[in-house]
Chains A and B, each alone.
Chain A
Amino acid sequence: MARPHIEPFCDRDVHFKNMRLPGFSRGMGYKMLSLDADSGACSMTVQLDGGYHQPPGFSWSEREMIIVEGELKVGDQTCRKGHYFFIPAGYCMPAISTQQGCLVMMMYNTGEPSHEPSGEHHPLAQVDLYHSIDSYMDIPWAMGNLVKPSVAAGCLIKLLNFNPISHAMTFLYCMTPCFKQDNISYHDCAEESYHLWGTSWMMQFGDIPTGGYFWRPAYINHGAFASEYGCIALGRTDSKLFNHFHYNPWTTPKENQERAGARLYQRDPLLYKWALSYDHNHPHGPEDFEKTMQLRGNEQGHDNEHKSDGKRHDHWHGHDHQEDGSPHHHHHADGSHHHHHHDD
């Protein structure tokens, strides 16, 4: 299970609900944009009332925030509209407060919204990953050709966060007035967008206005694209963004995925054949030696618990898939192997 396809949805059409999860202070209203039914990971527009104050603490989930309207005081720093935060799970944030109230987009990436009052980081927090920036004032707009094939000129971006392992991205994008792009696109990743200001149009879904939102699973057609007066939006992908362009509006996600596979076969035939033929198509990927090799500073062993895909495994391994419920046969990096059951 994952988040369902919500496109388009406008948060201006619904009212704020009071946040009543434990740990959060009074004066926090939210509009749910999308939610993962299994993990509780979600994206919300959040209204913090004037006078709101939250004591220092951390979340069990990795999260991102961007201030949409108003000012938010984070510790001693006053942050304005457009300020973006990437906050690793377990990272202890200072007290936050707002005098006049503010509107914030909050995204909990790996679990339900949570706030544990604390004066220090959780021992597992990847504290070095924390960063924050005034995205409106301190980053210039760049051409949108970060990936090839690329969007048309007039779609500009500001990269806010990039995961070097999964290539997941968070970025601001804008479309200049009279922007047009005449193709249909789909990606191998899920994509999310929230319109901070302005309206854009897509041929499948019509207009997305200010406050408009979508969460779109992989391989779903979208486009052609246009914006008459321009727009600015926050965009995210959950893994590498590749633009598969075409002009057939009637294809299904499965057909799109097969085409993506065909293109992989044409582009990287050796990798494609290897992945198919060696029983290494484990759902969480084959072994990455950079994660498992012995290091001179740690000759006793390697970190075999925390993996780049967010799953916790005892070891990287390839295995032979058998019938559901039957034991799996695992080959380990140290040459040993054994049988065990998988939950997933």
Chain B
Amino acid sequence: MTFKNLFIEHELSPEIEAWIKEEVDEQELRYRAVSHDMDNLASMREKWYQEFFDRITTSGFNEDGDAKTPIKPEHLPVKPEGRNDQVIWKYGIDDE
């Protein structure tokens, strides 16, 4: 995805291409570390999800700005069977 603005065509020297490759490799390590850390947060997240459900069924869900609507407990979602609690998606929709 780009910012959809002007880019001026120019030649990339081997030095620049090597720099980009090195940064891409390092980014891959950074991505894996982040992904690993977020997987390790799963049990904490389970608690946070429950607290979130408690709040939106009592003080309400922020529909728009400060307008809050309490959600009926029977309208809370059920976690689909077999689905992992995944929060990191490498390239979003292209990651599935």
Residue in A148, A168, A248, A252 whose beta carbon sits within 8 Å of that of B64 in the complex: A148
Q: CA separation between A189 and B59, bound complex, in Å?
A: 30
| A339 beta carbon closer than 8 Å to chain B | no
What residue in chain A is nearest B60 (Cβ atoms)? A182
Write out, one digit per residue, whether chain B residues 1-29 have a CB within 8 A of any chain A CB (1) or not (0). Answer: 11111111110110110011001101110
Contact check, B91 vs A2: say whether CB atoms are below 8 A apart.
yes
Write out, one digit per residue, whether chain A residues 235-266 have a CB within 8 A of any chain B CB (1) or not (0). Answer: 00011000001011110111001000000000
Residue in B1, B20, B41, B85 whose beta carbon sits within 8 Å of that of A112 in the complex: B20
Given A6-B34, A89-B8, A219 contacting B93 (CB threshold 8 A): yes
| A78 beta carbon closer than 8 Å to chain B | no
Contact check, A89 vs B96: say whether CB atoms are below 8 A apart.
no
Contact check, A62 vs B7: say whether CB atoms are below 8 A apart.
yes
Contact check, B16 vs A250: say whether CB atoms are below 8 A apart.
no
Distance in angstroms from A343 CB to nearest chain B CB is 14
Residue in A112, A182, A220, A310 whose beta carbon sits within 8 Å of that of B61 in the complex: A182
Contact check, A190 vs B1: say whether CB atoms are below 8 A apart.
yes
| B90 beta carbon closer than 8 Å to chain A | yes
Distance in angstroms from A227 CB to nearest chain B CB is 15
Contact check, B91 vs A5: say whether CB atoms are below 8 A apart.
yes
Write out, one digit per residue, whether chain B residues 56-96 have a CB within 8 A of any chain A CB (1) or not (0). Answer: 10011111111010010000110110010111111111111
Contact check, A62 vs B92: say whether CB atoms are below 8 A apart.
no
Contact check, B83 vs A250: say whether CB atoms are below 8 A apart.
yes
What residue in chain B is nearest A249 (Cβ atoms)? B49
Residue in B59, B68, B90 whose beta carbon sits within 8 Å of that of A4 in the complex: B90
Within 8 A of B (CB), among A181-210: 181-183, 189-190, 203-206
Mostly, the A contact residues are: loop
Given A40-B16, A252-B96, A238 contacting B63 (CB threshold 8 A): no
Q: CA separation between A122 and B7, bound complex, in Å?
A: 12
Contact check, A238 vs B66: say whether CB atoms are below 8 A apart.
no
| A151 beta carbon closer than 8 Å to chain B | yes
| A26 beta carbon closer than 8 Å to chain B | no
| A47 beta carbon closer than 8 Å to chain B | no
Given A22-B15, A149-B64, A247-B77, A6 contacting B2 (CB threshold 8 A): no
Give the residues in chain A near B7, CB-CB below 8 Å. Answer: 39, 60-62, 89, 110-111, 310
Distance in angstroms from B79 CB to nearest chain A CB is 5
Residue in B3, B66, B87 whose beta carbon sits within 8 Å of that of A62 in the complex: B3
Give the residues in chain B near A7, CB-CB below 8 Å. Answer: 34, 38, 88
Q: CA separation between A17 and B43, bound complex, in Å?
A: 35
Give the residues in chain B near A252, CB-CB below 8 Å. Answer: 86, 89, 96
Q: CA separation between A59 and B95, bound complex, in Å?
A: 32
Contact check, A309 vs B4: say whether CB atoms are below 8 A apart.
yes
Give the residues in chain A near B28, CB-CB below 8 Å. Answer: 4
Give the residues in chain A near B5, CB-CB below 8 Å. Answer: 62, 88-89, 109-110, 163, 166, 168, 310
Contact check, A122 vs B24: say whether CB atoms are below 8 A apart.
no
Q: Which of the 9-residue segments A29-37, A48-56, A313-321, A327-335 touches chain B? A: A29-37
* Among A62, A153, A239, A308, residue most surrounded by chain B Cβ atoms (within 10 Å): A62
Q: CA separation between A205 and B35, bound complex, in Å?
A: 10
24 pairs, A vs B, C-beta closer than 8 Å = A5-B89, A7-B38, A35-B24, A35-B27, A42-B23, A62-B5, A89-B6, A109-B3, A109-B5, A110-B6, A111-B10, A112-B19, A150-B64, A153-B65, A182-B61, A190-B1, A203-B45, A204-B45, A238-B3, A238-B4, A245-B64, A253-B96, A310-B3, A312-B9
Apart from A42-B23, A238-B4, A308-B4: 16 A-B pairs, beta carbons within 8 A? A8-B34, A37-B20, A37-B27, A62-B6, A89-B6, A90-B6, A90-B8, A110-B6, A111-B10, A145-B65, A181-B62, A182-B59, A182-B61, A220-B87, A238-B3, A239-B1
